Structures are given as C-alpha cells and as structure tokens.
Copies of this chain bind each other. A is one copy, B any other.
C-alpha cells in the first residue's frame, strides 16, 4: 500500500500528514481552514465553501506528495463508510452530502472520510494503546469531548453515524452547566479543555487555558488540582455508564487535556469502579493514548489504506 495522506480537521485549522503503512509520519503541516458557518445562505454555498476550503488546504501538500489516497477525519456524522456526510453541527446546511465523492473528483485521488472522533479510535486501535484489543472505547479530550467505538475490530458508527456522542452523556442532572449542544449537564460541559479552563476561571477569577490549569496543578495550586480531580470523577462516571451498556474492557484517552493524566486518572478509576456493576469492577483498563495528538491523523491514514 505504501504511503497515504491523512487530514485531521479541527474548528480552525487542518493538520495534514504523509504517513506510511506502519503509522510513521513522514512529513506534516498545519493549514488554516475555517469550517465555520461563515456567510453560507444556501446549501450550494455551503457545499462549494467546504469543498473549496478543503481542496485549497490539501492541494499544495498533495502536489508535494503525489499519492493516490487520502483519509480525512471530519467533524460530522457519516453514513457508514460511504463518505456521505449525514450532518455536521458546524455546517447545518449540509445534510446527506457526498463529501468524499466531491473531494475525490476535485483532488483527483481516492478519498475516505469519516467522523473525526471515530478516526481517533481507529488510529489508537491500529497504532496506539489500543493495539491488540478487538473492542475499544476511545475518548478524545480536547476543545470538546469525543468518543469512538471499535467493536470486533470494526469501527462502529451507528445507524446515522451518530454513535458515541460520549461528550453528551449527562453527568449532572439538576442545574447542570449548559452545553454547546443545547442540553445541560453534559460531560463535555465539565470535562473538555474548554470546560476546565472556564471552571478554573470561575473559581479563581484568573484567566487560564487548560494547559495553564494543568501547570498550576503541577505547582500545587489547590483549585487547579480540585478541578482536574473533578474532571476525572465526571469522566469515570460517564465511562461507567458506557461500560454498563457495552461491556468493553479497554478504554483509551487522547487529546490535549489527557496530558494531565496523573491528576485525572486516579479519581477517574475510583469513580469508574464505584459506578460499575460489581462483577465488572477492576476489570476495565483506562489507558493513556500513546499517540499524543496524532490518534485522529493516524486513524485517517488507516481508513485511506483500507480502500
């Protein structure tokens, strides 16, 4: 199979990499590509906007590395492995849009495209801490909280590509924080990097992003330690709910906030085991990603090489 391109698309920029069969990144770059709602009044506008933005970002790197396959992790819901976008929270005008096919026509190469959090799960299972586990629940702690599920060595996307909306499990039932999805009490409103930053600022009056909260915690700041501990508790609670339904033994966690592992993991495990049914206690491993921020990118490479 040789080398493929992989793209991991975030809210404001896009990471691109040339990746070989073994998951080694040969070359990579970061390109600005805003996939916001931005002046799109019709579906046609939105379609051409997305295609243009992606192709303009990808084409120069493709010229540099003329391969025949690209895999893309995209923040949206897809119908199976068809590359058809069922919907995307950021691009509400695009429903049932053949994103993969259109990109393929414009770029002149084969395009595989899948939900970004599912790509991260695929990457972690193929190349990271999930290797050797046929069933895997992978969680991404970034701006939001994403989830991806591998069952019997296959990505599980659900009937409408909306499975594993793990960040929207409800962890607080009364007077919960309002989440970006419109509901309240969602895990994402407590345990994302954004939420950690907001909770710290509310508590201390100090502006700090999640990385700074982590650094403060390492310096012994009690508020920072507490907020990361609570983050672990909320995560443990939500993982327990998922395990009670799925009975999976291995959970992996990647994303920027997972760097605060020593603060998050112990309370997470305690709360997880408290909440599981007794025969499952002590049977579930929650492991830190070995891919750092590259899980999504490597998963995108994996779906490209499945073509």
Which residues of A are at the interface with B, using a C-beta cutoff of 8 A? 77, 87, 89, 135, 147, 149, 151, 156-166, 168-174, 181-183, 237, 240-242, 244-249, 274-275, 277-280, 283
CA distance A292 to B266 in the complex (A): 46
Contact A277 B165 (CB under 8 A): yes
Please give 6 more A-B residue pairs, beta carbons under 8 A apart, in addition to A160-B283, A169-B245, A245-B245: A157-B247, A165-B277, A170-B240, A181-B278, A182-B278, A242-B245
CA distance A160 to B283 in the complex (A): 10
Contact B247 A159 (CB under 8 A): yes
Contact B135 A165 (CB under 8 A): no
**A285 to chain B: closest CB distance in Å?**
12
**A197 to chain B: closest CB distance in Å?**
23
Q: A278-B181, A278-B182 given as contacts; is B245 within 8 A of A165 (CB)?
A: yes
Number of copies: 2
Contact B248 A159 (CB under 8 A): yes
Closest chain B residue to A172, Cβ basis: B173
Q: List 22 A-B contacts (CB under 8 A).
A: A87-B279, A89-B279, A157-B247, A158-B248, A159-B248, A160-B279, A160-B280, A160-B283, A161-B247, A162-B247, A162-B277, A162-B279, A165-B277, A166-B245, A168-B244, A169-B244, A170-B241, A183-B275, A241-B241, A241-B245, A242-B245, A245-B246
Closest chain B residue to A149, Cβ basis: B245
Minimum-distance CB pairs A-B, first 10: A158-B247, A163-B247, A162-B247, A165-B244, A181-B277, A168-B277, A159-B249, A173-B173, A159-B247, A165-B277
CA distance A275 to B170 in the complex (A): 8
Closest chain B residue to A147, Cβ basis: B245
Contact A241 B278 (CB under 8 A): no
Closest chain B residue to A181, Cβ basis: B277
CA distance A163 to B156 in the complex (A): 16
**A271 to chain B: closest CB distance in Å?**
11
- A245 — which chain B residues lie within 8 A by C-beta? 147, 149, 163-166, 169, 241-242, 245-246
CA distance A245 to B135 in the complex (A): 15
